[in-house]
Amino acid sequence: MNHENRTREKLAGGEPAFGIFQSIGSVAVSEILANREFDWVLVDMEHGQMGIETAGDLFAAIERGGPTPLVRVPGNDQATIKRALDAGAMGVMVPLVNSGEEAARAVRYCRYAPGGLRGLGPGRASLFGIRLMEYASTADSRVMVIVQAEHIDAVEHIDEIVKVPGIDVVFVGPFDLACSMGHIGRPDHPEVEAAIARVLAATLEAGLIPGIFCMGAAAAVKRAGQGFRFVAAGLDSLSLNAGLTRTLDILAQKPEVRNSI
């Protein structure tokens, strides 16, 4: 793997970076997503149905296509984060980070000593140890640390979270945030929007990158206009469903074609 994190470089240059979540554990899906125009593709190990062996194959397929391979791990766990990075992820999204202490723990798990607790060992990222020192010497400056603000507790502690050194992106999860505020299924509720705005303002003031999940391209463009710079434009399964729905809608308008099949 070449270890270039073009997404991090793009963000450092002030440009927005758009990507998509992958929840389907298929290399074919990775190859399709990676050969579009996304800056990054995030393999979702939190809600997606895949283990570390599959995830490593997906990271490699994504990188071959050009985007930055990222991962959302199931939780703020040292062992899982270590294995995901060794498998080739170039950034880790940690869910449900609700305090400064939890954010600092996520950073430590993503960094080698002396600044962190990541273990040094062979994996796909270092060509299974053949290029271990080459990889380890640059990993800390290239691996992105992305903490999720997806609970009202994170909003209430956002000022301490953004002060933690080593964080690259604070990523809002609107749906879980809405749920934690008693507005399940209503990420557009005014109270949720106010909470999102609070996270955005604190993140920008701290000089960090604000990110957010969106359900489609139109919402992604809108959020980018608000100041979000690391923006998810959707999910692989939802994109597949949207395409199929559009196809079926067209077929439904042509009953003579359908009946002739």
Cβ–Cβ under 8 Å, residues 90 and 5 = yes
User: Would residue 47 show up in a list of annotated catalytic residues for this protein?
Assistant: yes
Cβ atoms of 35 and 158 closer than 8 Å: no
Closest CA to 21 of 257, 230, 166: 230
State the residue for tokens 């749906």.
175
Give the pair of three-digit tokens for residue 209.
Answer: 């990158």
DSSP 3-state of 250? helix
Residues 6+ apart with CB under 8 A from 74: 45, 46, 80, 95
Name residues whose C-beta falls within 8 Å of residue 55's C-beta, 6 or more positions apart in sequence.
25, 43, 45, 71, 84, 87, 89
**Alpha helices (H) in the chain, listed in sequence order:** 6-12, 27-34, 52-65, 78-86, 100-110, 132-142, 152-156, 158-161, 174-180, 190-205, 217-226, 236-252, 255-260
Catalytic residue among 47, 157, 183, 189, which?
A: 47
Q: Which amino acid is at 230?
A: F
Catalytically active residues, by annotation: 47
